[in-house]
Amino acid sequence: MATARKPIHKHLYFWVLVSIVLGVVVGYAFPAQASGMKWLADLFVALVKVVIAPTIFCTVVVGIAGLGNLAKAGGLALRTILYFTAMTALALTIGLLVVNLVQPGHHGPPIPINDEAAAKTLAEAKTAETGVTGFVLSLVPKSFVGAFTDGQLIQVLLVAVLVAVAVGGMGRAGERVVSALDTVAKVMFGVIRIVMYAAPVGAFGGIAYTIGKFGGTILGKLAWLMGSFYATCLLFVLVVLGGVALGAGFSIIKLLRYLKDELLIVLGTSSSESVLPRMLVKLEAAGADRSVVGLTIPTGYSFNLDGTCIYLTMGAIFIAQATGHDVGLGTQIGLLLFMLLASKGAAGVTGAGLVTLAASLTAFEANSAIPAVGIALIVGIDRFMSEARAITNVIGNGVGTLVVARWQGQLDRDRLKEVLNDPSRVDVDHLLDRRDGAEPEAERDFHPSGVSSRTTA
C-alpha cells in the first residue's frame, strides 16, 4: 500500500521555489525595479501577523486548559524554558568559537561603510531595552489590548497564560470560555489557510528586492563573514540540532524534508513569523500534543532564537576584528552572558537581529573594546544574513518542540516516524480545513490525528 501523492504543482513549496528563482532572475535583470518590490514580502508578512496574536492567544489558553491542571502546565513551561536556555547558550558559544577560529574580520579588502543606515539602526537600538531590565519590561504589555497590537509574542504569551490560569479556576463556566476560544482559533486557522496562497508572491518580492537592492558587489567584500556565518548555522543545524534530534529518536534530515515548505517561505520573506501558524499545525500533525505545541512554539519565538544568537556573537567579534580592537576571553564571556538576556529582551523589535546587536554593543561598550558605531560595517549585508538567522530559528523551534513533547511524555513516536518517513501523508491545507471547522472532501479520509489515511495499492 502506498500513500496517494498530489501532483508537484499542487504543493506550496513548488510555487514558492519557482517564485524564489524568478525573484533572483528579476533582481539581477532589473535591479532598479526589483529594489522597489520589498512591499510584496512586507504585505505577506503583515497579513500573517494579523492573525498570529489571536491564534497564539487562543491556542495557548486552550492548550493549557487541555493539560487538566496547573502543575502539569508548570512542568511543561519549566522544561521548555530550561531546554531553550541551554540551546541559546550553546548557540552563542558556538558563534563565539567559530568567529575566533576563522577571524573573518581580518580577511578581505576594505569594507564599505553605510553611515546613514548605521545611524538609523543605532537610534532604534537606543529605544530597545536590553539586559535584565529590558527582558522583564518586555514581558508586560502597556494594556491588555496592547499585547495584541504591539507585535510582541512574548506579551501575548504572558496574557494567554494569565487568562488560562483564571479560566482554569472557573469550573464549568471556564469550559464554555475554552469552547468559545477554540471556535475563534478555528476561524483564525481558516484565515491563515487563505493568506498562505499569497506566500509565493511574498517570496518573490523578498528575493527580488534583496538581489536588486544589494547585488553581488557587497557580498564579495564581506564573503568571509557571510561564509563563516552560513557555515556555522549549517554546523549548528546538522551537528548540534541533529545530535539532539537523534537523542530524541528522529532524524534532522527527515524533519528538514518535512518542513521544506516553511523553510522556503522563510528564505523568501526573511521572516520566521510568516510560518508560525503552519508550524503549529505541522508539528501537531507530526505527533506532538496540541498543548505542548501551543505553548512551546510561541515561547520559542522569543526564547529560542538560535540563528540570532549565532549572529550576535559572530557580528560583535567581527566588528572588533575589523576595527583592530582586541577583545579578551573574559570580556567575550561577559558579552556572551549579556547577550543571553539581550536576545530575549528585544525579541519583538523589527529587524531584531541587527537592532539587538547594536543595542548590546551600545549597552556593553563601556565594558569592552568593541565600538558600537562599528555596526556600520555589517548593516549592508544584514538582509542576506537574516535568511540564515530566520531559517535556523525555525528549525531550532521545530526540534525543540518535538524534544520537549517527548520529555513531557506527550509525543506520539509512531506517528512521528510515519510522518517523517512519508511527509506526503500530511496535507497542511486540509489540516487547516479541519482546524477551521470545514469538512474535508469525501474522497479525502483523515485519521483523527490529522494524518491522511487515503492509500492505494
Q: Which of 3-12, 152-161, 378-387, 434-443 has the lowest mean pLDDT?
A: 434-443
pLDDT of amino acid 400: 95
Task: Specify the pLDDT at position 270.
Answer: 80
Go through the domains of the chain in sequence order and give each one's CATH number.
69-154+217-436 (1.10.3860.10)
Q: How far apart are CA 444 and CA 452, in angstroms?
A: 7
> Residue 129: pLDDT band by 50, 70, 90 thresholds?
low
Give yes or no for residue 127 having a pLDDT over 90.
no
Closest CA to 352 of 95, 146, 138: 138
Q: Do 12 and 261 meet the contact criterion of CB atoms below 8 Å apart? A: yes
pLDDT for res 220: 57
pLDDT at 118 exceeding the cut of 70: no
Residue among 323, 312, 324 at smallest CA distance from 363: 312
pLDDT at 87: 94
Q: Please tell me the predicted confidence (pLDDT) of residue 457.
A: 32
| pLDDT tens-place string over residues 204-231 | 988 888 888 766 555 555 678 888 999 9
Give the whole-angstrom CA distance, residue 229 versus residue 354.
14
Residue 111's pLDDT is what? 54
Cβ neighbours for 334, distance < 8 A, ≥ 6 positions apart:
364, 367, 368
- Tens of pLDDT along 300-353? 888 888 998 999 899 888 888 887 778 888 888 888 887 887 776 444 444 567
What tens digit of pLDDT does each residue of 392-441 get? 999 999 999 999 999 999 999 999 999 999 888 777 666 665 555 544 43
Q: Which amino acid is at 83?
A: Y
pLDDT of residue 377: 75
pLDDT in the model for residue 147: 79
Q: Which residues contact 158 (CB under 8 A, 6 or more apart)?
A: 139, 140, 141, 147
DSSP annotation of 106 reads G
- For 276-285, what is each residue's pLDDT tens digit? 888 999 999 9
Confidence of residue 299 (pLDDT cuts 50, 70, 90): confident
d(CA 51, CA 275): 12
What's the pTM value of the predicted model, to 2 decimals? 0.82
The grid cell for 454 is: 487515503
Q: Is pLDDT above 60 for 11?
A: yes
Residue type, 290: R
Range in 238-242, 247-251, 338-342, 448-452 with the lowest mean pLDDT:
448-452
Between CA 265 and CA 197 the distance in angstroms is 11
Cα 24 from Cα 206, distance rounded (Å): 10
Using alpha carbons only, give the angle 45, 312, 220 rounded to the nearest 5 degrees: 80
pLDDT for the residue numbered 358: 79
pLDDT band at 241; cut points 50, 70, 90: very high
Whole-angstrom distance, CA of residue 75 vs CA of residue 257:
31
Alpha carbons 58 and 185: distance in angstroms, whole number:
6
Q: How confident is the model at residue 2 (pLDDT cuts 50, 70, 90)?
A: very low
Query: According to the model, what pLDDT value does residue 435 have?
Result: 57
Indicate if the pLDDT at residue 445 is higher than 50: no
